Amino acid sequence: MTEGHPSVPSPPAPPWAQPPAPVPPPPRKSGRGLWIALGAVGVALLVLLVGSVVAVSVYLDRSSSSTAAGSDEIDALLAEHTRALKERDLAAYLAPFDPADKELVARQTTLFHNLTKLPLAEARYEEFGATTDTEATFDVRVSFVHRFEGMDPTPVEELYKWTVSRAGADAPFKVTAVGGALVDGPARDMTTYYPAPWDTGRPLHVEKTPHTVVIADESLRAEAQRYAPLAERAATEDLAAWRAGGVDATVPQGFVISLVKGKKELGSLYRTTKETPAESGVAIPVPPAGAIDGEDASAPEVGTSRVVIDVADEYHFTKGDRELEIFRHELAHAIVNVLLKRGPGATALDGPENWVVEGFAEYLAHGRKPFTTSDRTAESTKILRSYDYRQDLPGNAAWKMEGRLSYHYWLGHSAMSYIAERHGEQKVFQLVTEHYRGTPIGDVTRDVLGVSYADFEAGWAEHLRSAAR
C-alpha cells in the first residue's frame, strides 16, 4: 500500500478529445491511494543499537540429510553475529561471510556501519517458513523484526534470504549470498521491502528530530540537514491536526523518512516497481511482525509506514517552493495507514475510496485550508468547466485516468473542505477513520454525516461549482 503524490498538475485534455480509457490503479496505492497487498516483504537487516535487547533464532526445517548438530551450528552462528553487532566487533560480524567474495564482505561492512547509526528500540531475528537444504548449500529465510524508537507503534517485519554452504561435514558454515526474500500466497505483490536504505551498500547519514528519523545517503547529507527541520514541522502540524480531530485511535507519533534523488531510487527503496514512478513521494505501509504470512486474521494490516521523498522533484523542490506540502502530504498518509482494514480476499479495488485517501492527504498538506488555495485549482477549474453534466466523485477504477490524476486529487481535497465547512472539521477525521477501518463509504456518510451518499455527493457537487466559479 503506497500512497504517492503526483509531481505536477496534469494538463486538461482538449475539449474535443475523447476521454481516454480509465487506467486501473496499481495494486499498491502510489499516486492512486492507500492500497497494498501487505503480504510481500523482504529486506533483511541485522540491527541493534547499544542497549537494545536482540534475540536471534532461526529454526530450519531440514531434510533428512541434515543433522540436529547442523541446526545448532546455525543458531550459534547467528547468536555470535548478533553479539558482534551489539558489541561493535566488526571482525566477528564479518566472520560468517565468504571472505573470497570481496563485494559481499564490503557490503556487509557498510551494512554494519549503517546499522549502528539507526535508533532502534527493538531488533530480533525469527524463523520465517521452511528452509530448503541440500548436502552442501541451502537457503535460510530469516525474519528481521524491528521497531524504531518513538516512531513505530509496533514492531514490523522484513525478510532476508541467506545462502549458506560448507566445504565439508566438519567445516564451518559460510554465508555466500544475501538478498531479499519474498513470500508466496495471495498476499504477495510487487513490494518486497528490500533493499532498505541501509542495505544499498552506500554509507548513510541520519538526522534525528523529536518526531522523525531522516535517512539519506551520505552524498545527501546537506539535504538531510536542510529538510529534517521541515520534516519535523510537518510531523508536528499533522499530529496536532489529528489530535484536534478527536478520533480515538492509536497512530504513529513519529516517522521514518528516506530522502532520495531521482525517480529510479524512489521506486526501488522498500519495494520493486514495474515502471519508473511519476510521484514525488510515497508512504509505504509495512505489515506488523507476524502478519506477512496472513496466518493471524486478527492482526492489523499495517504496523507502520516508511516514507520516501524525492528531493530532486521539480514541482516540490528544485523549481517550486512546496517542500512543506509534500512532507505534510506523505506524513498524513503515514498517520492513517495503520487504520487500514480490508479483510481477507480483498483486491486492489476493495480498499478505501481514493478520493478519501488522497483528499485527506491534500487537506493536511495544504494546512487544512480550502481547496481553492491549492496550486491545482487553475487547471482543475478548466477541466470542471468543460463538463456539461454534474461532476461526481471519481471511483477507484477511473482514478488514474490519463490527464485527470491531479484533477482527481483536487476533487478529493474539495470533498474534505466541503465536509469541514458543512459538518465541522472533526467530521473529516471521523469519516476518514471509519472508512479506513473498513466501513463502506455509503454507510460512513450516513453514520458520520447523517446523510445518504447520494445526498452527500449532490451537496458536494453544488459546493464545488459554487466555490470554483
pLDDT in tens, 52-63: 333 333 333 333
DSSP-derived letter for residue 26 is P
- The full DSSP string for 278-323 is -EEEEEEEEPBTT-TT---TTS-S-SEEEEEEETT-IIIIIS-S-H
Q: Following CA atoms 373, 457, 327, 434 in sequence, which dihedral angle do they give, to the nearest 10 degrees?
A: 150
- CA atoms of 21 and 436, how far apart (whole Å): 28
| SS3 state at 129 | coil
Determine contact, residues 228/216, Cβ cutoff 8 Å: no
Give strand pairing partners of 279: 6
- pLDDT tens digits, one per residue of 157-177: 888 888 989 888 788 889 999
Q: CA dist 264 to 172, 216, 260, 309, 327, Å?
A: 40, 15, 9, 12, 19
Q: With the C-alpha atoms ordered 383, 387, 391, 397, is the resulting torsion angle positive or negative? A: negative
E-strand stretches of 151-278: 156-165, 174-180, 204-209, 212-217, 255-260
- pLDDT tens digits, one per residue of 190-225: 466 888 999 999 999 999 999 999 999 999 999 999
| Cα 294-275-406 angle, rounded to 5 deg | 95
- pLDDT tens digits, one per residue of 66-122: 444 456 777 787 788 888 878 899 999 999 999 999 999 999 999 999 999 999 998
Determine contact, residues 308/213, Cβ cutoff 8 Å: no
- pLDDT tens digits, one per residue of 313-345: 998 998 877 999 999 999 999 999 999 987 655
pLDDT at site 347: 57
Q: Following CA atoms 160, 163, 169, 173 in sequence, which dihedral angle do they give, to the nearest 10 degrees?
A: -60
